[in-house]
Structure 1
Amino acid sequence: MRIISFCADSIVDAAEKGFFDWVTNQDADIICIQNLGIAEYKLRDDVYFPRDYNPYFFDSADGKSNGVAIYCRQLPKAIMTGLGFLDFDMEGRYIQADFDNISIGSLLAPSASNDAEQMRKNQFFDQYLNHLHKVRNKRRDFVICGNWNIAHKSVDIQDKKANHGVSGGLPEEQQWLDRLFREEQYADAFRMVNNDADEFSWWPDGGQEKNGWRVDYQIVSERIKQKVEYGALYTVQQFGSHAPLIMDYDFELPDSGF
């Protein structure tokens, strides 16, 4: 099973830069996209609806910001939108495809640029940790893909000095991921196969020369940890400020039977 996840900034801009030309040649079973920046009904071009995939979208209430999508080569048994987090679900931050015994999610976590936004971001992650604790007890496997807006370790921030105290690299945010991995037994799939120190997925300044962050993950539940075979961040082409994350798993998606 190959899953590609990508935070697009704008799906229209990414398409114009060749994202769909590239991704449809990668033999992915699932493609997760975040931060679409446009409502689904405004996507008129066939490029957004590749022939070999079943696409599903979850727009923000304003239809202009955020928005997430998941493209499935096989038909899922169900699609879930939102997490039941009240106003957060109005922002188009999560969509999930359910197959027989595995669920694949596309997540766009909140970002923060001031104290009020940081409090709200912390609230989201407190609720999300509780949610992941609950679903861990289900007899299902999970792969949650997306822009988590947190760099887990100092090695995941290229310019640590310049970004000291910046949201995304705060100790309390990094501790949240520590708890997720240590207490709840989830794992960062990329770090299961790649421990290099120069792997970044986001460049807020636009280029790939400095100020890189690794904030894009595929987080897997306990039984999937040993299924991770390969992981890479694709940086040969730039489709936006984020790089696509490619992960291969020794796992075959069950046929939906539809």
Structure 2
Amino acid sequence: MRVITFNTQGIEQAADRGFFDWMIHQDADVVCLQDLRAKDYQLDGDRYHPEGYNTYFFDAFEDGYSGVAIYCRQVPKAIMTGLGFELCDFHGRFIQADFDKVSVSSLHIPSGLKSHEAQLTKDEFLSHFMGHLKKTLRKRRDFIFCGTFNTAHRTIDLSNWYANQTVSGFLPSERAWMEEMLGELGYIDAFREVNKADRQYTWWPDYNRARSLNEGARLDYQITTAGLRKTVKSVQIYKDEMFSEHAPLIIDYEGDF
């Protein structure tokens, strides 16, 4: 099965830049989108509902904020929206599709870059989401959490990391959160199961020079439960076209849903 995750930074802008034309040629089973900045009723045309895909949105309550989506070829057994806390549900930051064997979710953790208050919001979100990750381990199925975590895990995941240790996205507390998820709890960073190289980024600041010089960060992940570790076959960060400041992350898994 092929799973793609991509932060659109506005689904209409990404569509204008050719994202859906690209997507329909990827033969993906599931595509997870984040930061739509549009509501379901604004996206009812064929442009946002490519043939062969079942489409599910979870809107933010306020216009212009976040919003997530899942596109899948197979009709899921169930769709779950939200995680039961306001910072997630009010801003449309989580949607999950349950299939026979695997649940796949689209997740958008808030950034803390704008202000101290934004960082406090991110920290609170991470605390709530860690609770969800712990509960998930008690369930008898595998999970893939796709999306923008807005944190670079290790020094190889961020350019100029030494100068960014006091910047949101690479704070010691954020990296410790990642370590708990991927260490103590046993979740898997699917990309790193295959690709161990440095400078493998999924996001670059809003200027072309950073992208051309590959000065960025790996902020987008597919995090799986341990049962899927040996199923990860191939990984790719697609950088040939620029649909937003983020790049699509493509991962192929053995087996089906």
| Paired position in structure 2 for 1:246 | 250
| Paired position in structure 2 for 1:170 | 171
Question: Following TM superposition, by how much is the alpha carbon of 1:210 offset from its aligned partner in structure 2, in angstroms?
Answer: 4.4
Matches for 1:56-205 after TM superposition, within 5 Å: 56-112=56-112, 113-205=114-206
**Structure 1 residues 160, 87: closer, same or farther in 2, change over 3 A?**
closer
* 8 A contact 2:149–2:221 mirrored in 1: yes
Question: Following TM superposition, by how much is the alpha carbon of 1:163 offset from its aligned partner in structure 2, in angstroms?
Answer: 2.6
Deviations 1:123-175 (A, max 9, x none): 11111111111111100100000000010001111122443311001111011
* 8 A contact 1:186–1:221 mirrored in 2: yes
Question: Following TM superposition, by how much is the alpha carbon of 1:211 offset from its aligned partner in structure 2, in angstroms?
Answer: 3.1
Question: Following TM superposition, by how much is the alpha carbon of 1:40 offset from its aligned partner in structure 2, in angstroms?
Answer: 1.4
Corresponding residue SS for 2:90: helix
* 8 A contact 1:67–1:91 mirrored in 2: yes
* 8 A contact 2:231–2:253 mirrored in 1: yes
Q: Which AA in structure 1 matches 2:22? A: W
Q: Unaligned regions of 5+ residues in structure 2, if any?
A: none
Q: Which AA in structure 1 matches 2:170? A: G
Corresponding residue SS for 1:91: coil
**Structure 1 residues 160, 21: closer, same or farther in 2, change over 3 A?**
same
Deviates more, 1:198-207 or 1:98-107: 198-207
Question: Following TM superposition, by how much is the alpha carbon of 1:63 offset from its aligned partner in structure 2, in angstroms?
Answer: 3.2
CA distance in 2, matches of 1:179, 1:149: 16
* 8 A contact 2:201–2:214 mirrored in 1: no
Question: Following TM superposition, by how much is the alpha carbon of 1:46 offset from its aligned partner in structure 2, in angstroms?
Answer: 1.1
* 8 A contact 1:187–1:221 mirrored in 2: yes
Matches for 1:200-219 after TM superposition, within 5 Å: 200-207=201-208, 208=211, 209-219=213-223
Corresponding residue SS for 1:106: strand
* 8 A contact 2:8–2:243 mirrored in 1: yes
Q: Sequence identity of aligned pairs in percent?
A: 46
* 8 A contact 2:6–2:32 mirrored in 1: yes
| Paired position in structure 2 for 1:221 | 225
Corresponding residue SS for 2:3: strand
Q: Unaligned regions of 5+ residues in structure 1, if any?
A: 254-258
Corresponding residue SS for 1:223: helix
**Alignment root-mean-square deviation, CA:** 1.1
| Paired position in structure 2 for 1:256 | none
Q: State how many pairs are aligned.
A: 253
Deviates more, 1:162-171 or 1:72-81: 162-171
| Paired position in structure 2 for 1:31 | 31
CA distance in 1, matches of 2:192, 2:231: 13
CA distance in 2, matches of 1:34, 1:87: 15
CA distance in 2, matches of 1:3, 1:241: 20
Deviates more, 1:156-165 or 1:52-61: 156-165
